[in-house]
Chain A
Amino acid sequence: MIMDVKDIIKPENLVYKKNKVLTNNVMHYCPGCSHGTVHKLIAEVIDEMGIQDKTIGISPVGCAVFAYNYVDIDWQQAAHGRAPALATAIKRLCPDKYVFTYQGDGDLASIGTAEIMHACNRGENIVVIFINNAIYGMTGGQMAPTTLLGMVTSTTPYGRQADLNGYPLKITELIAQLEGTCYVTRQSVQNAAAARKTKKALRKAFENSNQSKGTSFVEVVSSCGSGWKLSPVQANIWMEENMFPYYPLGDLKDR
């Protein structure tokens, strides 16, 4: 017997809907952008842990500067790269709060290298969510510290060359070396299985942050269709083929 769709679409049969910690605002991100998916996972974790009133996010400079329009919690907007410094103070002054930074690769791995290194080295009890799409999205597709060798950007129009631009920075590997971090992982959200794993990682990171274990660092290898000049689906395939070999997924540290 084939059921009619109308008989299935009923409240009692609901298995997935937009989380209430996610606002109804239409996101300004480009089609297929990983930011939207990660925002949603953060909202779901906050809701499931029941910590909406205890969570403070710090948005970066970059495309995700407007994260505060989408996740319905209190937010602070940091100067470029400085989110870990803000988070440090918030967590120390308000130790009962769950504090997380949301940063891109330019913000975290270029201009904010000192702040992220020292916050992680002090073992601040915060969550760091690091979106690595190997390019500057908001400013129009310039080279990021994590841009792969050979990758074309608007400031490496002939491809990134090691002798001219240095090497793609594996900052997550550096972070994992620091005594202050308790959990360092690299995830992705291009398919449902990956997104579910990322959600689990975020949940663990948030739980860690109120157990005085140190800093939890979740990198999400992401796509930027607009910056990479690819369709959303092609961008995800390109990411799997080119980004994952250099930035392999999985836990780098869990203690």
Chain B
Amino acid sequence: MAEKVLKKGNEGIALGAIHCGCDGYFGYPITPQSEVMETLMEEKPWETTGMVVLQAESEIASINMVHGGACCGKKVMTSSSSPGLSLMCEGLSYLAASELPCVVVNVVRGGPGLGTIQPSQGDYYQAVKGGGHGDYKTIVLAPFSAQEMYDFVGLGFDLAFKYRIPVMMLTDGMIGQMMEKVELRPQQARLSDQEIVSRYGSWATTGKTSDRPKNAVTSLALESKVHEALNFKLQAKYAEITEHEVRFETLACEDAEYLLVAYGSVARICESAVEAARAQGIKLGLLRPITLFPFPNVEIQRMIPQLKGILSVELSAGQMVDDIRLAVEGKVPVHFYGRLGGMIPSPQEVLEACKAHYIK
């Protein structure tokens, strides 16, 4: 029987990294995610699995260390919080353009600016629309429990290597700091150098041997034709991911007339709101996107005939609501309810907002 432990979400990320056979973590302290690196330093995985853990001089250095490791075909990751992610955006653009696999965790805090260390979902646009320069995307996973914080590191690496793409875990200080039961998985071995050569030797910098041409991992293509072709290749990859990798969960959606759409920490509050609504005889359901890119458009569209209204509930000024509106194309009313600056709505407030818009 699998071991169960009581862990903070951030600690879950650290343990998830070790247990999935991660080769390297590079990070810089920032609240509310510092426990990730602190836990790794305490666990000393370099003595057990051989995993490298290094405190970098900045988030810029962290993401570029991830770049260096990813080029070698290694499972490498970093974690930070909003201002740190802003600094990493150039690096993320390079990683995406160079088609490099990695996991980047954003334990979001309230912005803009230095903002607050309290939870927020204000980095949704930055995460799902690219964030850095150019036409690129990252797969975005939105965990809503300590268990998912633990599980999604391994899932993130699986997706990252399957598609050669950076995977972002978009979470917030509420999930990061909350202690919950986490069921641990068996330790997965790190890949050997030989295994890396046989799996990723066609592109990774594993050392140029006489049996293959040199591998040069670059995002530079000065010729317009070549660069357009690279962009088309990336777009084709994003289309493939959109087709195959959408993940979501639903609650009480079978007969729902009204739908809450919420991810991460707020989805937990919305679960309680759905329960309260059902107790009052209101047919309310919840759709929780687990992947924010790719977004569960198709599932939302499938529900259109049964719905009288959708409420996007977010810890932001209204960001994901845009993607919902794009999905329904005006066929169903879509409204937004959100709190900002670290304020957390209660289930009652969510339900009242829903009633105010739809059940007069």
Contacts and interface: CB of A to CB of B under 8 A. Distances in A.
A53 interface: yes
Interface residues of A, number: 34
B69 A78 contact: no
Contacts of B58: 114
Nearest to A91: B68
Contacts of B26: 89
Specify which of A52, A54, A75, A94 lies most central, judged by the most chain B CB atoms within 10 Å of its CB: A94
Interface stretch (A79-87, A163-171, A216-224): A79-87
A146 to B, nearest CB: 22
A13 to B, nearest CB: 28
B52 A93 contact: yes
A55 B68 contact: no
Nearest to A28: B222
Interface stretch (A1-9, A66-74, A183-191, A232-240): A66-74
Contacts of B94: 79
Given A68-B214, A82-B91, A73 B68 contact: no
A92 interface: yes
Given A56-B207, A89-B24, A68 B218 contact: yes
Most buried by B among A52, A72, A85: A85
Interface stretch (B71-79, B289-297, B323-331): B71-79
Interface in B188-206: 193, 205-206
A56 B54 contact: no
A90 B206 contact: no
Contact of B66 (A69, A74, A89, A92): A89
B216 interface: yes
B72 A94 contact: yes
Interface residues of B, number: 39
A53 B205 contact: no
Given A73-B208, A77-B217, A58 B68 contact: yes
A76 B216 CA distance: 6
A82 B214 contact: no
B103 interface: no
A76 B217 CA distance: 5
B207 A93 contact: no
A52 B67 contact: no
A215 B64 CA distance: 19
A97 interface: yes
B218 A77 contact: yes
A47 interface: no
28 contacts: A53-B207, A53-B210, A56-B205, A56-B207, A72-B208, A73-B214, A75-B217, A75-B218, A77-B98, A77-B217, A77-B219, A78-B68, A79-B90, A79-B91, A82-B60, A82-B64, A85-B56, A85-B60, A85-B67, A85-B68, A86-B65, A89-B64, A89-B65, A92-B24, A92-B52, A94-B193, A115-B61, A118-B56
Given A77-B217, A86-B71, A118 B57 contact: yes
Given A74-B214, A77-B217, A93 B24 contact: yes
A240 to B, nearest CB: 34
Contacts of B172: none
Contacts of B301: none
Contacts of A94: 72, 74, 193
Nearest to B207: A53
A88 interface: yes
A43 interface: no
A131 B65 CA distance: 22
A65 B222 CA distance: 11
Interface string B73-101: 01010000000000000110010001000
A69 B71 CA distance: 17
B23 interface: yes
A59 B220 CA distance: 11
A68 B216 contact: yes
A83 to B, nearest CB: 8
A1 to B, nearest CB: 44
A86 B24 CA distance: 12
B69 A90 contact: yes
A84 B220 CA distance: 19
